[in-house]
Amino acid sequence: MRPWPGTPYPLGATYDGAGTNFAVFSEAASRVDLCLFDADGTEHRVRMPEVDGFVWHCYLPGVLPGQYYGYRVTGPHDPTSGQRCNPTKLLLDPYAKAVGGAVDWDQSVFGYTFGEPEQRNDEDSAAHTVKGVVVNPFFDWANDRPPKTPYNETVIYEAHVRGLTMRHPGVPEELRGTYAGLSHPAVIEHLQRLGVTAIELMPVHQFLHDHGLQERGLRNYWGYNTIAFFAPHAEYAAQTAQGAQVAEFKAMVRTLHEANIEVILDVVYNHTAEGNHLGPTLSMRGIDNEAYYRLVEDDQRYYMDYTGTGNSMNVRNPHTLQLIMDSLRYWVTEMRVDGFRFDLAATLAREFYDVDRLSAFFDIVQQDPVISQVKLIAEPWDVGPGGYQVGNFPPLWTEWNGKYRDTVRDFWRGEPATLGEFASRITGSSDLYQEDGRKPFASINFVTAHDGFTLNDLVSYNDKHNEANGEDNRDGADDNRSWNCGVEGPTDDAEVTELRARQRRNMIATTMLSQGVPMLLHGDEMARTQDGNNNGYCQDSELSWVDWSLAETNTDLIDFTAGVVALRARHPVFRRRRFFAGRPIRRGDELRDIAWFTPGGQEMSHEDWESGFGRCIVTFLNGEGIPDLDARGERVTDDSFLLCFNAHHEDISAIVPDGDYGAEWEVVLDTATGEVSAPQPAKYSGKSELVLPSRSLIVLRRTGSE
């Protein structure tokens, strides 16, 4: 097969209808061979004749979608100097848009001999590793339209493609655990019932199941072990044809868009599945180790590890930055996703050793006309020194607000000295985001996520129970800020069961009515449990999958969740685009945009905030004090509300404010009863007594003014 010169751009394998252009970057290489594989595994090697700017390239007419391929790179092999080229290792294209096969962890996929890490291993790995697949880029998007939901109107549902659908009785068995299953009408109906506007998918980039997990009979369920940044994970496709996962993923996005639901991807650009110096040679390590990975400067055999996974991507290198940016742009333009959540995003900010919020990566994102226009969510920490960076990302970004999570958990379990912090968190965390010009929606508010307890387990366990992971319960976080309500784990005690149900409603209602962007973990709306396991990363089993039978036994919780989401959607006072100012927005107004009261009906004093033992607070949200403008430039107005929080273990009597604040009020939400927008709500007048049940939230809407 005689190659044509082809072009150095775009990188990867690009089919044009008549043949395929192949292009791969390697500054380390002295020779690159393109390897094509027949269905029976027969290999055909083509020496790539052209190299421009360290990009090796060729064009092969007649090479069609479905073709398996890989690379062999000849170049220096000196691990002590960070050089790990070895042509006996078949290497996956970093730009592969689909991946076929699997890594079977044969010794040949490693660059050294087992037991002798200094001994070079020249066994051929082609029969034991993954390969790239040429894909057909053409797809009928029909009338697809991205929803482009504004941040302040967004409600995120964090979900796992497999975990959400594996046990859903309404999804055909052959579609469970797949992209097609996720976009099945039965799943979409549930999402629409809840009122969520975006589904945030845990990693769907092609990932590997760790060798150590497989030896223990486990799998990398979460998927934070990426090997290909352009390829949708093949195991999540219902169709088994080579490269079919690409079209199936696109069809999923198109269907969710039709339902006005955005698709946000949890992406892992901070490390790859090649691990540390004892990891396999599968792709970037053998193509150009020094370019792609951060190496220890005084001993380049080893990798800098800011992620706890063995290696860290070298975002200081322009070609690595290009890889990440090209991947992001591809998922927006070709796969039409609506945003990204960046795993351990602080790693991407490490220009040198320390975290630098103005690193090249963020500069490039800021000026990119495609990526800068979608939702960008940072997990604002990593495991390296100084890695906790909540509140420190650039203005374009939103962040998983870990301080919100911790504070809300502490407040509802009755920890002391949380009132001031709690007030800041539920009003958008202005102390974190206002100074650099960001808005309340910079805060992604959550109480639970995939990493940690489910909501049910948060109120059912004091301690983690991760024995099923096979690590003697050493893995997973110890600081859960959870409370079991008096009994560890399942119980038939009616009083404990009722308290747990109330606490679940408290957490959901608080999250949905806080300023910022709320996020709900899949299954929390039906009290999903993992039996106290707070680190289900390796549990690809019924332990982690959503048990949809709970949707029948916990219909009341689903209805409550949907009700409070709808309450948020109807009232812009709960989703302001600007922070509270603590003053009237117009001259002559008597009422401030927000006010805080003690249970006695008096405005909070400095001493009240600093008391340290306060468990109850009443918040007035002024619907006439919203500084936002609608699409026509007219000022947004709304009803006014009282949010009455009682985290005390006893009932507390509160005095309803009167005068300018209002004369008549009606209850629109009560976490003690589980009612939202009851047909005949309880009504109160100013100065009347309102009994706040222990550990409950009551929301009142003003219906009359003096």
B/e letters for 511-530, b = 16+ CB within 10 Å, e = fewer, are bbbbbbbbbbbbbbbbbbbb
* pLDDT value, residue 383: 79
349 pLDDT tier (thresholds 50, 70, 90): confident
- Closest listed residue to residue 398, CA positions, set 436, 443, 354: 443
- Cα(366)–Cα(103) distance, integer angstroms: 37
Query: How much of the chain exceeds pLDDT 70, in percent?
Result: 98
Quick: pLDDT tens for 483-541.
999 999 999 999 999 999 999 999 999 999 999 999 999 999 999 999 999 999 999 99
* pLDDT value, residue 288: 98
* pLDDT value, residue 391: 87
594, two tokens = 């927000």
Quick: pLDDT tens for 223-252.
999 999 999 999 999 998 989 999 999 999
Mean pLDDT across the stretch 262-267? Answer: 98
Quick: pLDDT tens for 427-470.
999 999 999 899 999 999 999 999 999 999 999 999 999 999 99
- 8 Å CB contact between 686 and 660: no
- 8 Å CB contact between 72 and 90: yes
Position of tokens 């223990």?
216
* pLDDT value, residue 88: 98
With 0-12 / 13-18 / 19 or more C-beta atoms within 10 angstroms meaning exposed / middle / buried, residue 610 is exposed
Q: How far is CA 290 from the centre of its chain?
A: 29
169 has a pLDDT exceeding 80? yes
Quick: pLDDT tens for 307-316.
899 999 998 8
Q: How far is CA 566 from the centre of its chain?
A: 23
Mean pLDDT across the stretch 638-659? Answer: 95
Quick: pLDDT tens for 9-34.
999 999 999 999 999 999 999 999 99
Q: Is 447 helix (H, G, I), strand (E, B) or coil?
A: coil
* pLDDT value, residue 705: 62
Catalytic residues: 343, 379
Decide: pTM greater than 0.85: yes
Quick: pLDDT tens for 118-162.
899 999 999 999 999 999 999 999 999 999 999 999 999 999 999
What angle separates helix 555-570 from helix 185-194, to the nearest 10 degrees? 60
Q: What angle do CA 382, 387, 389 make, to 5 degrees?
A: 105
DSSP state of 657: P
Number of H helices, E strands in the chain: 16, 32
628, two tokens = 């936002």
- Cα(424)–Cα(84) distance, integer angstroms: 51
706 has a pLDDT exceeding 80? no
* pLDDT value, residue 623: 95
700 forms beta bridges with: 642, 667
Q: Is 369 helix (H, G, I), strand (E, B) or coil?
A: coil
Position of tokens 């027969």?
42
* pLDDT value, residue 372: 97
Position of tokens 């495609």?
370
Mean pLDDT across the stretch 172-188? Answer: 98
- Cα(478)–Cα(30) distance, integer angstroms: 50
- Cα(284)–Cα(320) distance, integer angstroms: 10
500, two tokens = 């747990």
DSSP state of 17: S
- Cα(282)–Cα(17) distance, integer angstroms: 29
* Paired sense of beta strands 99-100 and 131-133, if any: antiparallel
Residues sharing a CB contact under 8 Å with residue 327, sequence separation 6 or more, in sequence order = 229, 230, 267, 269
- Cα(409)–Cα(453) distance, integer angstroms: 12
The gap between the terminal CA atoms of the chain, to the nearest Å, is 87
Quick: pLDDT tens for 377-427.
999 988 788 888 898 888 889 999 999 999 999 999 999 878 999 999 999
Quick: pLDDT tens for 564-581.
999 999 999 999 999 999
- 8 Å CB contact between 29 and 56: yes
Give Cα separations from 2 to 46, 59, 442, 692 (angstroms).
8, 9, 54, 80
* pLDDT value, residue 624: 92
- Cα(684)–Cα(693) distance, integer angstroms: 16
- Closest listed residue to residue 511, CA positions, set 599, 427, 452, 447: 447
Cis bond upstream, residue 10 (ω within 30): yes
* pLDDT value, residue 569: 98
Query: How much of the chain exceeds pLDDT 90, in percent?
Result: 86
- Cα(165)–Cα(172) distance, integer angstroms: 10
- Cα(111)–Cα(42) distance, integer angstroms: 23
Quick: pLDDT tens for 352-368.
566 666 578 888 999 99
- Closest listed residue to residue 452, CA positions, set 508, 532, 378: 532
* pLDDT value, residue 584: 87
